[in-house]
Structure 1
Amino acid sequence: MKTAVEAMTVLVQEHPGWTTIPGGALRFMRAGGIPLWLRWSADTIQLSRGSADATRAEIGPTVDRCESSTVNLNISLGDALAELGPVLRVRNADLWDAIGTAIIRQVIRAGQARVLYQRFCQRYGDSVKSPAESGFLFPTPEKVAGLSASAFTELGMRFKRPALTAAAEAYLSHGTHWQTLPAQDLVTALQVVPRIGPWTAGAAAADFTGNFAVYPYADLAVRTWVGRAAPDVDWPADEAGFGTLWRRLGGDRLSDLTLLTLAWGDSHARAQPLPERPGSRS
């Protein structure tokens, strides 16, 4: 089954599952346990499900859209975000993938996280075929929970093993319930897992729910992009001060403001790589 969705000007591709292909980008994910692939081109997102199960044929990811007009900033950041045009983002339909992705992103640069994520999928994830090319899904929690220490070491992911293993075991016990929680409650619930702190929980919850008001918007990455998008503004350098200002600027559109800023950063990431996050970030 294929579905064409009218595309917007910018597709946010911060998730490491997106792969650039000629004319667009490709991604594989699960939705309700069904494997599917998404292909983005200049004017459409094409969706194809790898299942003939007619009773579940409508399962698919949610596509969120926002524009700079929703935030109405009277500072230069508003002008920078307006240059993006409308923004589109595909929510992660698989909460387990969202959690695992956030763990892989801990501490390291986005480019390195993308390499580790795709390497992990290729080695231990289920394969999916599309008309464009074949790909791999994120390894299931059952698979991750059973991997040996050497399996992680061989992929250069030894330091990711404790958190991924703990999260996989917790997800097998609580994942069905976690999927029903509102974004903020999900952030709280995920932090009972060892080595999952506020940053990881917020990133995972935002990825899955599409609510970027719970994203760790005051972290170094966001502060750096904001400083580059609007260098004439005297932004607070500290996390607490920036967070207070950001909440005031965003108001009831905090999610849109954060997502638009991440979209701006994503569109500039290849030309202007970000510094690493502090090592204590979890």
Structure 2
Amino acid sequence: MTWLMLDHPAWDLDAGAPVRALRTPEGAWRLTGSLNRTATLIRGDGPAPVVDSYDPAVLLDERLPDGLAAALRRLGRVERVRNPDLWEALVTGIVRQVIRAGQARKMHRAFRAAAGDAVGATWLVPTPEQTLALSVEDFAALGMAFKRRPLQAAAAAHLDHHAEWAQLAPDALVKALQSVPRIGPWTAGAAVADFSGDFSLYPYADLAVRTWAALADPSNAWPTDEPGFAARWRRLAGPHLSVLTVLTLAWGDHHAHADQGSTHH
């Protein structure tokens, strides 16, 4: 079975079906997911967004704990829509800072609905220009007063540097984004993983990965500290750090309740 990963807070629901709008260099695309969670690209301008596929079969040669290996095999192949818009990936990373995933999803939707362009039954994230045009009062009305400065700093930086950033390799982009005020390693890594599809760049020792690994394999003695977990995760993953990380996040996405989540820094 193949599962569509719906972890991204830009996924909304329309009559019970997942829907999402994505901005591409040529325009916008509308996506929907069916009941068995496969992605359908409905319509859009220019080339379609990339749908990455992650297969647990590539992990068979790695020495994963039995419980985690079994959980990921049962999950099966995972598809995830790669974000073609670095700006949206930055917005998402900033919105997810410090708050739980359920709250971040609600805030992300409210921000898009208030200031973004509608695409069918959902909305694009506000552009950098739209974000800079919002007032202190606008952010306060959305319950996002503490997100105003990082979002507007990122918007200004994106307008100044997006052409330069577009030329960078993903690992170099992670470093470049951290020159923006209020964007640290977690936000930069999460944004570039979303943008590139390479989850070896994701902050793989964060609370989300640690939580889902422990729940998928509760009999295993997982390190609870980030450095210890990161070192063990790298050893377990071998050359497949991206696949192991994204499949573990997908396992959590598949099994979590709507109000569950984790805190990010």
| Alignment TM-score, normalising by the size of structure 2 | 0.94
Q: Which runs of 5+ in 2 are unaligned?
A: none
Q: Which amino acid aligns with 1:12?
A: M
Aligned to 1:141: 128
Aligned to 1:46: 40
In 2, the alpha carbon distance for the partners of 1:274 and 1:110 equals 4
Aligned to 1:221: 208
**Which of these residues, 2, 6, 10, is aligned with residue 13 of structure 1?**
6
Q: Which amino acid aligns with 1:48?
A: I
Change (3 A) 1:271 1:207: closer
**Which of these residues, 102, 108, 117, is aligned with residue 93 of structure 2?**
102
**Which of these residues, 211, 225, 250, is aligned with residue 263 of structure 1?**
250
Aligned residues of 1:212 and 1:256 also touching (Cα < 8 A): yes
Aligned to 1:183: 170
Aligned to 2:48: 60
Answer with 60-69 or 153-162: which moved more. 60-69
1:118 match: secondary structure: helix
1:17 match: secondary structure: coil
User: Structure 2 matches for 1:1-282, cutoff 5 A?
Assistant: 9-22=2-15, 24-41=17-34, 42=36, 44-51=38-45, 57=46, 59-72=47-60, 73-129=64-120, 134-270=121-257, 273-277=260-264, 281=265
Q: Which amino acid aligns with 2:154?
A: A
Aligned residues of 1:100 and 1:164 also touching (Cα < 8 A): yes
Change (3 A) 1:272 1:223: farther
In 2, the alpha carbon distance for the partners of 1:227 and 1:43 equals 25
Q: Which amino acid aligns with 1:49?
A: R
Q: Which amino acid aligns with 1:28?
A: A
Q: Which amino acid aligns with 2:135?
A: S
Aligned residues of 2:24 and 2:84 also touching (Cα < 8 A): yes
In 2, the alpha carbon distance for the partners of 1:233 and 1:80 equals 13
Question: Cα offset for 1:48?
Answer: 3.0
Q: CA RMSD in A?
A: 1.6
Q: Which runs of 5+ in 1 are unaligned?
A: 1-7, 52-56
Query: What whole-Å deviation, never above 9, does each CA across 1:167-199 have from its counterpart, x for those lacking one?
Result: 000000111221232221111010000000000
1:39 match: secondary structure: strand
| Alignment TM-score, normalising by the size of structure 1 | 0.88
Answer with 142-151 or 160-169: which moved more. 142-151
Query: Aligned residue pairs: how many?
Result: 261
Q: Percent of counterpart pairs with the same letter?
A: 51
2:243 match: secondary structure: helix
Question: Cα offset for 1:146?
Answer: 2.2
Aligned to 1:3: none
Q: Which amino acid aligns with 1:243?
A: A
Aligned residues of 2:82 and 2:197 also touching (Cα < 8 A): yes
Question: Cα offset for 1:44?
Answer: 4.6
Q: Which amino acid aligns with 1:227?
A: A
Question: Cα offset for 1:50?
Answer: 4.2
Answer with 260-269 or 36-45: which moved more. 36-45
